[in-house]
Amino acid sequence: MQNEEQIFLEKIDQEIKIEPRDWMPDAYRKTLIRQMSQHAHSEIVGMLPEGAWITRAPTLKRKAILIAKVQDEAGHGLYLYAGTETLNIGREEMIDQLLTGKAKYSSIFNYPTLTWADIGAIGWLVDGAAIMNQVPLCRCSFGPYSRAMIRICKEESFHQRQGFDILLTLSRGSNAQREMAQDAINRWWWPSVMMFGPNDDNSPHSAQSMAWKIKRFSNDELRQKFIDMCADQAKVLELTLPDKKLQWNEKRKHYDFGEINWHEFWNVVNGHGPCNKERMAARISAHENGAWVREAADAHAKKRRAREQQVA
Amino acid sequence: MDNEWPLWEVFIRSKQGLDHKHAGSLHAADAQMAIENARDVYTRRMEGVSIWVVESKNIHASNPDEAASFYEPANDKPYRHPTFYDLPDEVRHM
Ligand SMILES: [Fe+2]
Ligand SMILES: [Fe+2]
């Protein structure tokens, strides 16, 4: 036992990936199952706020782009579920954990998409924050997670760009369109900043995840990078971020920013966001109403197998 | 949630002339559905020109715990590599 743990730690130390059938500590496995399955759930639930605008996209081009983006998110969910299954947890068990509320998904998806500009803000800010989180995960010590993240990151950059493109178009449009874009940014900014999770001194599992090289940067480091990136990009959009304390700090070479409302963060995490109930209801109904499709496919496969056997 | 569809491993040839490479896995009721799902999941950006699917239970793998001894026989045969041989400088095209 001692020996296996040592081999594991040496691999981590030498940046050798851990693969599913390698020995790993139980806690490492559990941490990954929790993190990867919650990541998968987030991709799947994340389709809902944007999916709501597919039928209302302003042009055929925007509609086609949005469909492609939402379909990518479904793919991301599948890569991650498949990766998590290599840790010996069944797909059904994971889905069950989501639908019974045992597993969480990213709180950002518990906010509503009120206007078309929200689709722009989600692409720019929410996918932007996701990319910031996901790029270092490409180097995660667990092979299947790392490979899934590499695939995902390749696809994500178009998500952020199409969002920025929507906002840029609105910002350069009529006054009403500009206001719509600004309003969307005002509502999505702080929830996006919160996507990086609690401050480092309030993030109990972080140190272990960093030691295991699941995580490479702390929550606050990634949050700062994200804020620096957006503060500059907002200037190109000629729109503002809703933070009066946002200011370049020459000494730190970073933007200073205002106080995060952690009360709101924990409130949404604990199920009291504007759309928590709606999102769960939508997932449960999709799962229940899709049951007959799964059964029919199964029956069809059985029938075909029987027919093939008859011929043989 | 009674009968989960079986798991399939997906292998994709990215370009004519290259090997099929493991891309990931997915659940499907049968092979045809696995191929169709693999197309949607793993080739949305023309990443493939050919797909293989194999039911995961049919994959047999070497044991990682025995890796050291299993691959050991190759360890002491450096003469299988061209760099093992010192050639005089004047030898060309070898
Ligand atoms: Fe995604
Ligand atoms: Fe995305």
- B2, pLDDT greater than 60: no
Distance from CA of A274 to the nearest CA of B (A): 30
Given the structure tokens 């041989």, which residue do they identify?
Answer: B85
| Per-residue pLDDT reduced to its tens digit, A194-239 | 999 999 988 878 889 999 999 999 999 999 999 999 999 999 999 9
Q: Quick check: A1 pLDDT over 80?
A: no
Give CA–CA dist A195/A226, Å, rounded. 10
Residue B1 has pLDDT above 70, yes or no: no
Residue B20: strand pairing partners:
B13
Predicted pLDDT of residue B75: 79
Say if CB A37 and CB A92 are below 8 A apart: no
CA distance A113 to chain B (A): 26
* Shortest CA distance from A291: residue in chain B: B1
Q: Residue A2 pLDDT > 70, yes or no?
A: no
- Predicted local distance difference test score (pLDDT) of residue B69: 85
**Which one, of A290, A109, A310, lies nearest residue A195 by Cα?**
A109
Which residue among A22, A75, A91 sits closest to B64, beta carbon to beta carbon? Answer: A22
Using a CB-CB distance cutoff of 8 angstroms, which residues of chain B are in contact with residue A19? 64
Instruction: For residues B73-80, give the mean pLDDT.
Output: 84
pLDDT at A33 over 50: yes
At A172, phi and psi to the nearest 5? -90, 5
C-alpha A15/C-alpha A289 separation (Å) is: 45
Q: Compute the distance from residue A56 Cα to the ligand 1 centre, in Å.
A: 22
**A79·B41 Cβ contact <8 A:** yes
Query: What average pLDDT does chain A have?
Result: 95
Q: Is A216 helix (H, G, I), strand (E, B) or coil?
A: coil
Q: Is A218 helix (H, G, I), strand (E, B) or coil?
A: coil
Ligand 2 centre and the CA of A69: distance in Å? Answer: 7
What is the per-residue pLDDT for B72?
A: 82
Percent of chain A whose pLDDT exceeds 90: 94
Phi and psi at residue B46, to the nearest 5°: 55, 40
- Angle (CA) A172-A177-A182 rounded to 5° is 90
Q: What does the pLDDT read at residue A150? A: 96
Q: How confident is the model at residue B68 (pLDDT cuts 50, 70, 90)?
A: confident
Other Cβ atoms closer than 10 A to B94: 6
Q: Do B24 and A90 touch (CB under 8 A)?
A: no
What's the residue count for chain B? 94
Report, as an integer, the average pLDDT of B49-75: 89
Sign of CA dihedral A105, A131, A119, A52: negative
> What's the whole-number mean pLDDT along residues A24-31?
97
Those residues with Cβ within 8 angstroms of residue A109's Cβ, 6 or more apart along the chain or in another chain: A42, A45, A46, A48, A49, A275, A279
Give residue B65's pLDDT: 83
The CB-based long-range contact list for A58-62 (8 Å cut-off, 24+ gap) reads A58/A116, A62/A166
Cβ A301–B63 below 8 Å, yes or no? no
Q: Quote the ipTM score.
A: 0.88
| Closest residue to A21, CB basis, from B32, B41, B64 | B64
